[in-house]
């Protein structure tokens, strides 16, 4: 995409009394960049399994397990750790999982994962304090997501399905048992 094009991503702006994102109202940011206030998540959520399949001519396949844990030492921000090799997940799909998780954290809905996607905050903005989505309660993003398992399909493992599945994994992590019987997670 060329600079100045209408769909060029613009970074979140941290201003005085709050963080401003495109169409996403966010609560107050920490004023001094410290981890004052609550952090999200407050506790680790392990073994969040997601299987996302779309059996159609525009199919897609994503199947992975991810752990969500608070960042150590009271830090704010977002880290995505992928210890798996290319035989389990390619780099582009792993980045899409990370993007999907971060989109959920900043408040994007499932319809915004692949279309009308809001810009993602930078590492500097995340370290200074970006509030978690309003429906998750008060707090600032302080998350490490660790990819524990993934299956790769040679044709249907696509970045867009991994982004949607990353969003779904973050949603399942927060909702817990409420989301455990989601039809998206059933085998086709």
Give the range with max mean pLDDT: 2-16, 33-47, 115-129.
115-129
Q: State the pLDDT at residue 88.
A: 93
Q: State the pLDDT at residue 118.
A: 94
Please state the domain count of the chain: 1
Better-predicted residue by pLDDT, 136 or 27: 136
Model confidence at 15, in pLDDT bands (50, 70, 90)? very low
- Structural domain span for residue 126: 13-185
- Answer yes or no: is pLDDT of 173 > 80: yes
Model confidence at 185, in pLDDT bands (50, 70, 90)? low
Residue 6 covered by a domain: no
Q: State the pLDDT at residue 39.
A: 87
Range of lowest pLDDT (51-55, 82-86, 89-93): 51-55
Spatial distance between the Cα atoms of 115 and 7, rounded to a whole number of angstroms: 11
Residue 3 covered by a domain: no
Q: State the pLDDT at residue 13.
A: 34
pLDDT per position as a tens digit, 113-155: 988 899 999 999 999 999 999 998 889 999 999 999 998 887 7
The mean pLDDT of the chain is 79
Residue 55 covered by a domain: yes
Residue 1 covered by a domain: no
- 28 in helix, strand or coil? coil
Q: State the pLDDT at residue 179.
A: 53
- Answer yes or no: is pLDDT of 186 > 70: no
Residue 169 covered by a domain: yes
Better-predicted residue by pLDDT, 48 or 184: 48
Q: Residue 61's domain is classified under what CATH number?
A: 3.30.230.10
CB 53 within 8 A of CB 59: yes
Say which DSSP state 26 is in.
-
Residue 39 covered by a domain: yes
Q: State the pLDDT at residue 126.
A: 97
- 17 in helix, strand or coil? coil
Which residue intervals of the chain are DSSP H helices? 91-106, 123-128, 159-175
Residue 4 covered by a domain: no
Residue 130 covered by a domain: yes
């Amino acid at each position: 995409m060329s600079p100045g094009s209408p769909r060029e991503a613009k970074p979140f702006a941290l201003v005085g009394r709050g963080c401003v994102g495109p169409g996403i109202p966010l609560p107050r940011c920490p004023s001094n960049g410290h981890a004052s206030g609550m952090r999200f998540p407050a506790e680790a959520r392990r073994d969040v399994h997601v299987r996302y399949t779309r059996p159609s001519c525009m199919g897609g396949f994503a199947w992975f397990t991810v752990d969500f844990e608070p960042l150590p030492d009271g830090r704010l921000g977002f880290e995505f750790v992928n210890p798996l090799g290319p035989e389990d997940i390619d780099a582009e799909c792993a980045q899409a999982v990370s993007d999907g998780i971060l989109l959920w954290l900043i408040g994007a809905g499932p319809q915004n994962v692949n279309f009308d996607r809001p810009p993602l905050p930078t590492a500097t903005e995340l370290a200074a304090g970006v509030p978690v989505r309003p429906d998750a309660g008060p707090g600032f993003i302080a998350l490490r997501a660790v990819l524990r398992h993934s299956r790769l399909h040679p044709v249907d493992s696509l970045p867009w399905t991994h982004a949607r599945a990353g969003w779904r994994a973050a949603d399942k992590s927060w909702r817990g048992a409420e989301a455990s019987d989601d039809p998206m997670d059933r085998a086709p």
